[in-house]
Structure formats: structure tokens, C-alpha cells
Chain A
Amino acid sequence: MTEYLDDAMPPEDRDRIELHLSDCDDCTTYIEQMRQTISATGQIRPDHLPGSVVDQLLAVFRESRRTGS
């Protein structure tokens, strides 16, 4: 499935799957829904991190400029 969706399948396996899909509405629907799932997931933007996490690291980042390490 993942190989098929990645387009990373040997051509003969791919042909076999496509032959099956041409004749099976349920599997076609399933594959299409997986594609929709992947693309909907790609729309998610992660929440921003708590400021404290970033601030701590930023302090280290600034310090590294001063010491040149």
C-alpha cells in the first residue's frame, strides 16, 4: 500500500494492483481515502511551543555568539 502510494513499486506489482483496482470499487475508494488522509494531514500546522522552551534555547544561542563557541 505505502509502496504503491509512494510510487516506489516494481512495475509488474504496480500493474497487478492497478488491474485489480480497475475492477474493485472498494479498494479504489480505500486508496483514494488514504490519499485524502495524507493530503489533509499535510495541511496541519504544528502548534507553537511554549515560550519558555524557546527562550531557554535562545539564551544559549545568544551566549554562543558572545563566546564565539
Chain B
Amino acid sequence: MAARAAANAVSDAAAASDPRARSLSGARPDRLWPLLWRQMVDATDPGVTAGDEAVVIALRARDERVFIDLVQRYQRPLLRLAQTFVPSQAVAEEVVQDTWIAVIKGIDRFEGRSSLRTWVFKILTYQAKSRGERERRSIPMSAFQTADGGPDEPAVDPSRFRPPGDSRVSGHWAEPPADWGSDAETRLLGREAQEVIASAMDTRPPAQRLVMTLRDLEGWDSTEVRTALEISPGNQRVMLHRARSKVRASLERYLTEAARVTVADLEALFRYGPTR
């Protein structure tokens, strides 16, 4: 079932990218409903979502606000996906640009066999692959297939676990996760914490950053991410885990270093008294 949906999504995407394909009378919204209904009753099929219907209709009516929202939302994730296929930032940007043009041209023919966002990402993949082949420098999904950041890169620094053979219990935490403090929950919502998260994500390879963005920032589920990026369940998990672990480690540094500063401040206070 999922395979069929994926195949359909690809053919939709291919049609949208094909400059020879002509506009169809299927542009009329009433033609969409039987398809939408079929998707909605078929719960195992990652097809159009309830929110998609309104967006598709608005795009067909050339609603600029809806189009801008879509671009704002997916421009950066699409750029990251493009970066996994083509060697330069400039080419990646062109691929994203071509993808949006294909979306605009293809929206009247979008049949709702996948969710709208999956469809957009499939078009990107199709564009990026053919672009990569044209340039003979394609790195097809290499960022996803090699473990992306080195196969041996552990999610938690191994020095934090007791080594095998340690007289104490091996495999247990030697340096356990630090206490984040009682105000962690509040501080995590603050602007500073958000900046810490954003810059930790920025240090990740594009594929990892992309998976974490779609899962945790955009709230996609694992099936949809796998379908849109054409990656295996295991790969999706590994990349997500690595990215999340790095972000967690950065938050740990941020939350515990700040606590040390507070202690230093208190000491200064005892020594010198309050400053005005």
C-alpha cells in the first residue's frame, strides 16, 4: 500500500516536472473530491491530509498568501534536501527554484495520491536527481546512505559510559546526564535556548538537519519523512537520533554552564556585596 502511494507520488511528481505535460481540465476542484475521499478512508495510505484540500484549492485559485506561506515553510528544508544531491549551494538553490516552478505548473494536475508536502519533496528529488545526472556529479542520496557524519559517530560520548571490564558495572553511565535544574522547562522556552538549538542544528550535516527539522520542527511523522526523502526506517531513526543527541548535548552545556555562572555571581555577591 505504501509502495503504491510512493509510486503514485513519483508519477505525480514526474508529471509536474515534465514540461511537455499539458494542463488538464482536472483543475476543477470538484474533480478532486472523489480522490480526497478515497485517500481519507484509506487510513494506511499517507495521502492528502485534511489541511491539504484547502491549500490545493487556494493554490489553484492562485491565492498568493497561501503560496507565500508554503514557500516560507519549505524553502529551507527543500534547500537542505537539494544539497544532498548536488555539489554546490548555487545549484541547490536553482533546483529549489525549479521545484517551485514545477509545483506552480503542476498543481492543477496534482491528484492527491500523496500529501501535498510529500509531493513537493518528491518533485525536488526528481529535479535534483536529473540535475545531478546532467552534471555527472550526482551524489544520489549519499548523505542518507552513508551514515552521515561517520558510521562510528556515537550519539552519546562513549567516555560517559563505564568501559567493559570496569570493576563497577560496565555499560553504565560514568558521567551521567547532568541535572538541568528546576527551571529548565521555563528556560527551554526562552529565546536563548532556541538560539542554542538552532545553532546546534546548523552544525549537523544537511541530511540530519533536514530529518530533524521535518520531524521535530514541522511535526511530520516518521512514515511521511521516509516517503518524502526515500530513506529506510533505520536510516531515518539513526539520523534523527544523532541530530537530537547533539542538540540535547548543546542544551546540556547551555543549561549547566549558566548554572555555574550563577554560582560565581553568588560568590562575587558574598565577597563584594550588591553592586548598584
Knowing A1-B241, A44-B198, A69-B23 touch, does A36 contact B222 (C-beta < 8 A)?
Answer: no
In the assembled complex, which residues on chain B have CB atoms less than 8 Å from the CB atom of A25?
Answer: 176
* Segment touching A, from B46-54, B65-73, B132-140: B65-73
Determine whether A21 belongs to the interface, using a CB cutoff of 8 Å to chain B: no
Chain B residues closer than 8 Å to A17, beta-carbon distance: none
Whole-angstrom CA separation of A53 from B72 in the bound complex: 10
Cα–Cα, bound, A34→B101 (Å): 39
**Is the Cβ of A34 less than 8 Å from the Cβ of B248?**
yes
For B105, list chain A residues within 8 Å (CB).
64, 69
Contact of A10 with B by CB under 8 A: no
How far does the alpha carbon of A49 sit from the alpha carbon of B158 in the complex, in Å?
39
Contact of A57 among B100, B156, B173, B247 (CB under 8 A): B100
Q: Main SS of the interface on chain A?
A: helix
The answer to whether the Cβ of B185 comes within 8 Å of any Cβ in the partner chain is yes
Which A residues lie within 8 Å of B241 (CB)? 1-2
Name B207-244 residues within 8 Å CB distance of A. 212, 216-217, 219, 222, 237, 240-241, 244
How far, in Å, is A24 (CB) from chain B's closest CB?
8
Contact of B72 with A46 in the complex, beta carbons under 8 Å: yes
List residues of A (36-68) whose CB comes within 8 Å of B's CBs.
Answer: 36-44, 46, 48-49, 53-54, 56-58, 60-62, 64-65, 68
Is B261 at the interface (CB under 8 A from chain A)? no
* Chain A contact patch, size range: 35 or more
Residue B148 at the A interface, CB < 8 A? no
A60 and B100 contact, Cβ closer than 8 Å, known pairs A33-B180, A44-B194: yes
Are A42 and B100 in touch, CB under 8 angstroms? Answer: no
Complex contact B23–A61 (CB within 8 A)? no
Given contacts A38-B244, A40-B251, contact A64 B104 (CB under 8 A): yes
A2 vs B244: C-alpha distance when bound (angstroms): 9
Of the listed residues B68, B105, B198, the one surrounded by the most CB atoms of chain A closer than 10 A to its CB is B68
Q: Name the one of B97, B100, B180, B219 contacting A36, with C-beta atoms under 8 angstroms.
A: B180
Taking the complex as formed, is A12 at the interface, i.e. its CB lies under 8 A from any CB of chain B?
A: no
Asked if B166 CB lies within 8 Å of chain A CBs, one says no
Closest to B23 in A: A69
22 A-B pairs, CB-CB below 8 angstroms?
A1-B155, A26-B176, A30-B177, A36-B180, A36-B184, A37-B244, A37-B251, A40-B193, A41-B197, A41-B201, A41-B212, A41-B247, A42-B216, A42-B217, A44-B217, A46-B72, A53-B71, A57-B97, A61-B62, A62-B62, A64-B62, A64-B104
- What would 19 more interface pairs be, CB under 8 Å, given A27-B173, A34-B248, A40-B197? A26-B176, A34-B245, A36-B180, A36-B184, A36-B188, A37-B197, A37-B244, A37-B251, A38-B216, A40-B189, A40-B194, A41-B216, A42-B216, A42-B217, A46-B217, A49-B75, A54-B71, A56-B97, A69-B23
